[in-house]
Structure 1
Amino acid sequence: MAEQLIELNVTGMHCNNCALSVHKLLEKRGLHNILVDFASEEVKFSNDNEADLPGIIKDIEGLGYKVVDDPALQITPFYEKVENKFLFCAILTAPLLLHMILPWHFLHLPLVQMLLCLPVFIVGCLHFGKSAINSIKGGVPNMDVLIFVGSSAAFIYSLIGTIENLGEQYQFYETCATIITLVLLGNVFEKRSVTQTTSAVKDLVKIQQVNANRVVNGGIEVISARDVRPGDTLLVNQGDKIPVDGEVLSGNASVDEAMLTGESIPVEKEKYDKVIGGTIVQNGNIRMIATKVGSNTVLAQIIELMKKAQAAKPPVQKLGDKVAAVFVPAVILISLITFIITFFAVHTSLQVALMNAIAVLVISCPCAMGLATPTAVMVGLGRAAKNGILIKGGDTIEAVSNTKFVVFDKTGTITTGKFRIYDIKTEGEASIEQIRGVIVAIEERSNHPIAKSLVNELLPFQQTKLILKSAKEEKGLGMRAEDVDGNHYFLGSGKAKDDSDFNLSLYKNQKLIAQIAIDDEIRPEAITLIKQLKKMNIVPVLLSGDKMNRCLKVARQIGIDDVHGEKLPDEKLQVIDIYKQKGKTIMIGDGINDAPALTKADVGVSMNDASQVAMQSARVILLNTDLQSVIKFLQISRHTLITIKQNLFWAFAYNIIAIPVAALGFLNPMVGAFTMAFSDVVVIGNSLRLKRKKID
């Protein structure tokens, strides 16, 4: 039976350890291609037996998480919302803390303190206890184990003191309640911040959720974009979003495609033009035929790419995962050792030994380590997407960090792919006007991009036109034609010996009558881009299948010193290989012939107007055809990696300092809980800074 890719929406995961316990459970069940992303609440895996699915869902829910159909439609009961749990606990914890300041005698009574603490402890047991026990069952103890053990120890110790009437030094109800309340506060911040970091994908999903006006028997019916089928005729009016990908049947419109390309100027659309779902009609209205719907639309593919990108872990994160997996058992061990040494070796009182042990449990925070990478990667990917740069994988960001070489294809990448005539040299009696007429007449019959460019350029100057009887294209050579008077023409490549700039020749009855110098236009931003790359100590390289002298001419104009011309696709691979041995190499290309080299490079970058094959081979797609996106991509990647390193430094440093301080008894468990909650907030806050940070 064929394997199916199953996608589940799982709510209730709030840190990396949660994701790890789900991952381990699915591994134990022998499933493949497992991806668990706690931030976007998605679990994916390949399953070859559909009958197993209810059992898998039951096991995931057995860990304390919930499998839902659509998180957007999921209504969380009032008492399950983490914000409401925090408010409830805060109201009861406040008087417990105030008894230290206020002179009200009744607040000091052990029974009153126990009655105030008990509801908070029950909420804590339900919130952290369930998750802690399930994570131990799953074989990956999570951070809730530490909170649960710490708060339970404080509560049970105080309860024994109250029952035995052992006096004030046994009252630690406020410690128990404060730990639970502060960690819940941390969870509230964390939930809000994670929602912000995953906003890029959610914004894109919202764009998909629109209605469409379907034309049926002359009338209009309003349906959801999800119900549009290929071949449907749709009416899109001014101000509407185009519901799916398609082609214009009639009408004219200015369409804002900034969402995809980052290009602020609206694009004019008329009959036969392609339109993309999610873009907005700013002016005019059109009738269109739906060609791609559902998961085949450009927008759906972008969303899929973004989700895959968030799930692909950079090597830096794998390190964080490994540490987080062994972290909780290690902390419990340190806590036990702290208790044993303080009580038996140093001979302090039971309460001091217990408080030190609890402080160790509460201060440690594997969550900050687990959040360090995914939050930064998500914000980085989101910022790149808003700039029209699609990155297929968080690991791509790391691969780009120390780039040494950027290798460019020439045609369609450094140049626009549109050709211009620079010079026409006549041979014999024919005038320039006659030559132009012959070129237009012949090239009008060709579909070649060069032919189209020449016709567009010469049509405005055309005064005479030749009437042809026949014309046919000879692959790789040019066009042969015959006019009504029986003259034979050939227009194609073939240089005159004396001047290499003339790269097209026109023959009439096998006699040379003109030479034409054509070349494709260099993108206006190419020179600036090359200068910026050199400033960043990155070596630009030109690699093309085009003639060497033309490659050198382009390279001279834009300032590239390393040039490789006349290379076939397999030779391009060899060149990329040589550069890869010297350092990290990015390849930027757009044609089918670039696909192998794009795959071979450390990171392949493809232009949006590239061939489908090139786009599939690349790990980065520039939706905006402006080459400046390359610099933006390098800058965003660099700053995302800086943010990850800052986050990991903070998370490790915090734990390295905090645990010994707590073990030595210099830290009260309440202060521990407070700083632990805020270590998460610092890490997430640092990641969110990337949204608006100057990255020039």
Structure 2
Amino acid sequence: MQTVTLPVTGMTCAACQSRVQRQLTRTPGVRDASVNLLMGSATVTFDPALSNAAALVKVVLDSGYGAELPGTTDDVVEQLATRDATASHEYDALRIRALVSGVAGAVAMVISMPLMARNDHAGMGVVADPFMRWVMRAVSPGLESALPWLYALPTHVITWLLLTMTVAVMVWAGRQFYVNAWKALQHRAADMNTLVAVGTGAAFIYSVLATLVPGFFTAHGVAPDVYYEAVIFIIALILTGRMFEARATRTTSNALRSLAQLRPETARVMRPTPDGGETEVTVSLRDVRVSDLVVIRPGERLPVDGVIESGSTSIDESMLTGESMPVAKAVGDRVIGGTINAAGAVRYRATTLGSRSVLAQIMMLMRDAQASRAPIQGLADRISAIFVPVVIGLSLLTFAIWFGVLASGGTEAGAASVRAFAAAVAVLIIACPCAMGLAVPTAVMVATGRGAEGGVLIKGGAALQRAGDVTTVVLDKTGTVTEGRPAVTDIAHASASSLDDAALLTSAASLELSSEHPIAGAIVRAARARGLTLVVPTEFESLSGRGATAMVGAQWVAVGNTTLMDELSLDVSSMAPVVATLQANARTAIHVAVDGALAGVIAVADPVRTESAAAIASLQRLGLHVIMLTGDNAATANAVARDVGITQVVAGVLPAGKVAAIADLQRSGAIVAMVGDGVNDAPALAQA
């Protein structure tokens, strides 16, 4: 089996989505088809012996919608950029059309007020709603006082002015409804565009007749009411709903966009020179080739995946694992594009590019999860398939009933036809902004907006639908249960040292002023928080994977791990019990030596949030099973879990592993909620 994702254009409602999916599913060789309205895509799994991507595109085109083969590039970042540009353009266009239509509708309502007042005064009017009549009678006198010139205009001038405005709105803002409805009709189908076109078209034709031949209506005792403002408002309302959907489309790309921004646009690679040597050149990322030798300096983000060939460093892999502590890397170690080189300069051999890179795989996991269908989608599809024909049928039935009742009651046939037609138009107009088109997007927008105010990001309607049934809560560790950045937790002194806490921390923090390492930042922050005065170091030397040395004033200071202390021939055995205790509690022990003697140990860790234990206990009291899922090592994860009362831990997993772990829970019957904060959590958040 083969799976392909096709960009699909022209879908505007659930009926469109349902029709495309139905046609694809019926195609020979297709095992499964999932069409996503918001993302404008169709993901199809098919047997390549029976079908192909070109045949699937033809099926979509034959259904009346646009489709094209997947991009020639397999670069998911470039595909995302193309989709983003399309979504942003569509949203901006819809926003302008919805705003202008809404303003035009309000103006048309004001202009229509003299007509309503005149018909009411004459005792004629199709609509006899007491509330609307009360509103009109309450507003009209004040409006007449404010705009006497408007009420002085002849009726035919007002109706022609309204007709001109309505035609302009229908042609400029509402053109897509009529074009798409015509396309659907050509394919013997009906969708929401059909309903909008028929409803507004019927109201418009009725109003034009009332404008051109008002005498026909009055001759039958019916006011020549016009519904121009209703036509404009319906168009504005539907455009507003589609604007919400376009904004949702753009919002679904936010997490993917964050991932895409992790990848630099260029890379420095070694290329041969005419004299047989090599030179360092900067090239576009698309020009990097497998086996290129890539050069990376401290603080830079790695452009592609590869294996280190020379040098050693520490890599910030938080985008991959979520963990704030850098990972030591040496010759032969694998490095991942999108991570940050925190320390030394290295050269590494590029191994995977484009869609095969780890970052691209994470993005594709996220994209596929977003394209999955909400549980209620099946019901929406079944309803949308019959909704439009049913509404049109009800409109015709309404006309027949009204005409029959009025005619049998002695009403003249012409008058009965006019009143019955008005009632039938009302059914179409009321049905235009259907719940499937507006209610769900509106509810999702309100819910996600309220959630964002409380710091909770909700990925969409499917998540909201299932939230009440959640049985298991999976928590990321770093940045969720913990603070998300390292901090100094303990200071311990060597028995032979005379330095107190302040002196020890001052020496270490002064040295670390010249370091970019996250642990260095934690030590500097701790010193400044205590109000200590730091000295800018001299003769600073960064020792990749081990630590650093420098002169701090007149003192020689070394800060690093046991490997560095061994190189300096310093005995750290006296601190071994302290270090073991710190490590058992998920602390990283940093040794500090001053003037050739071990001064003590500074412990750094990602501290647990003060509210974590109470929040987890509250979840457990609700009967929810709480699990910690982290890319960190098991020892650190278990130590944090003990502190907050979590009994089940899954440690050492990368983004794909997190997705698999949640999928396993779901297959076992659990309804899973995932809580995470980093882009490395994005695929798992989408899966949950």
TM category, shorter: 0.5 to 0.7
The residue aligned with 1:175 is 230
User: Which letter does structure 1 place at the counterpart of 2:621?
Assistant: K
Task: Give the SS at the match of 1:19.
Answer: helix
Local SS of the residue matching 1:29: coil
Residue of 237, 241, 245 corresponding to 1:186: 241
Alignment equivalent of 2:206, drawn from 145, 148, 157: 157
CA distance in 2, matches of 1:186, 1:337: 28
Match of 1:214 among 256, 269, 276: 269
Q: Which amino acid aligns with 1:359?
A: I
Secondary structure of 1:215's match? strand
Secondary structure of the 2:112 match is: coil
Is the Cα contact below 8 Å between 2:321 and 2:654 reproduced in 1?
no
Q: Deviations over 1:372-395 (max 9, x none)?
A: 899899999999xx99x9x9x978
Root-mean-square deviation (CA), in Å? Answer: 5.5
| Residue 99 (structure 1) aligned with residue 111 (structure 2) | yes
Aligned length: 476
Q: Measure how far apart 1:22 and its partner are.
A: 1.5
Q: 1:378 to 1:328 in 2, by over 3 A?
A: farther
CA distance in structure 2 between the partners assigned to 1:25 and 1:609 by the alignment: 38
Flag structure 2 segments of 5+ consecutive residues without an equivalent. 72-78, 114-146, 218-222, 273-277, 410-415, 476-561, 574-579, 588-607, 629-637, 666-670, 678-684
Query: Which residue number corresponds to residue 57 of structure 2?
Result: 57
Aligned with 1:220: secondary structure? strand
Kept in 2: contact 1:162–1:171 (CA 8 A): yes
Residue 234 (structure 1) shift? 0.7
Match 1:362 to one of 416, 419, 432: 432
Query: In the alignment, is the contact (CA less than 8 A) between 1:321 and 1:370 conserved in 2?
Result: no
In 1, Cα distance between equivalents of 2:170 and 2:646? 70
Alignment partner of 1:300 is 2:367: no
- Alignment of 1:608 with 2:644, yes or no, is no
Tell me how far 1:153 sits from its aligned partner: 0.8
* TM-superposed deviation, 1:56: 3.7
CA distance in 1, matches of 2:191, 2:336: 44
1:22 to 16, 20, 38: 20
Whether the aligned pair in 2 keeps the contact of 1:252 and 1:270 (CA below 8 Å) is yes
Work out the CA distance in 2 between the residues paired with 1:557 and 1:589.
14
Cα 1:263–1:376 change in 2 (3 A) is farther
2: CA distance, partners of 1:280 / 1:22:
43
Which of residues 353, 356, 380 is equivalent to 2:423?
353
Measured in 2, the distance between the counterparts of 1:51 and 1:381 equals 44
* 1:247-298 Cα shifts (integer Å, max 9, x gaps): 3333455544443344445555454443221223455543222233222222
Q: How has the CA–CA distance of structure 1 residues 531 and 185 changed in structure 2, closer, same or farther, with 3 Å as cutoff? A: closer
- 2:544 aligns with none
> Partner amino acid for 2:662?
R
Aligned to 2:546: none
Equivalent residue for 2:42? 43
Residues 27 and 379 of structure 1: CA distance in aligned 2, closer, same or farther (over 3 Å): farther
Paired with 2:313 and 2:623, the residues of 1 have a C-alpha distance of 44
Contact 2:391–2:428 (8 Å) recurs in 1: no
State whether structure 2 residue 175 is matched by structure 1 residue 126.
yes
Mark the CA change 1:541 to 1:26 in structure 2 (over 3 Å): closer, same or farther: closer
Deviations 1:40-65 (A, max 9, x none): 22222134269864454344245453
Amino acid at match of 1:22: V
Q: TM-score normalized by structure 1?
A: 0.55
Is contact 1:14–1:38 with CA below 8 Å preserved after alignment?
yes
Report the counterpart of residue 471 of structure 2 in structure 1. Answer: 403
Relative to 1, partners in 2 of residues 1:266 and 1:108: Cα closer, same or farther, differing over 3 Å?
Answer: farther
Partner SS state of residue 100, structure 1? helix
The equivalent residue for 1:248 is: 308
What displacement does 1:176 show?
A: 1.7
CA distance in 1, matches of 2:351, 2:405: 77
Looking at structure 1, the residues matched to 356 and 452 of structure 2 have their Cα atoms a distance apart, in angstroms, of: 22
Shift of 1:98: 3.4
Tell me, in whole angstroms, the C-alpha distance in 1 between the residues paired with 2:372 and 2:18.
15
C-alpha spacing 1:406/1:321, structure 2 compared with 1 (3 Å): same
Equivalent residue, structure 1, for 2:623: 537
Structure 1: runs of 5+ lacking an equivalent = 408-454, 464-516, 543-552, 563-586, 591-606, 623-629, 637-689, 692-696
> Could you tell me which residue of structure 2 aligns to residue 4 of structure 1?
2
What is the alpha-carbon distance in structure 2 between the residues aligned to residue 401 and residue 55 of structure 1?
41
Sequence identity, in percent? 27
Kindly state the Cα deviation for residue 536 of structure 1 after the two structures are TM-superposed: 3.8
Residue range with higher mean Cα deviation, 189-198 or 151-160: 189-198
- Equivalent position SS for 2:300: coil
Deviations 1:392-451 (A, max 9, x none): x978994994427999xxxxxxxxxxxxxxxxxxxxxxxxxxxxxxxxxxxxxxxxxxxx
Distance 1:107 1:72 in 2: 53
Bigger mean CA deviation after superposition, 18-27 or 324-333: 324-333
Secondary structure of 2:224's counterpart equals helix
Deviation at 1:152? 0.7
1:423 corresponding residue in structure 2: none
1:309 aligns with 2:369: yes
TM, length-normalised to structure 2: 0.55
Q: Supply the distance in 2 between the matched residues of 1:328 and 1:260 (Cα, whole angstroms).
A: 47
Q: Against the structure 1 CA distance between its residues 343 and 256, is the aligned structure 2 distance closer, same or farther, given a 3 Å change threshold?
A: farther
Deviation at 1:368, TM superposition (A): 3.6
- Give the C-alpha shift of residue 181 in structure 1: 2.8
CA 60–258 in structure 1, closer or farther in 2 if over 3 Å, else same: same
Letter in 1 for 2:169: V
Work out whether residues 242 and 279 of structure 1, in 8 Å CA contact, stay in contact via their aligned partners in 2: yes
- Once the two structures are superposed, the pairs formed by residues 559-638 of structure 1 within 5 Å of their partners are 589=650, 607-608=652-653, 617-619=660-662, 633=674
Alpha-carbon distance between aligned partners in 2 of 1:130 and 1:43, rounded to the nearest angstrom: 23
Aligned to 2:7, the other structure's residue is in SS state: strand
Secondary structure of the structure 2 residue equivalent to 1:13: coil
Inter-partner Cα distance in structure 2 for 1:268 and 1:23 = 49
Q: What is the CA distance between 1:229 and its match in structure 2? A: 3.3
Amino acid at match of 2:22: K
Change (3 A) 1:137 1:257: farther
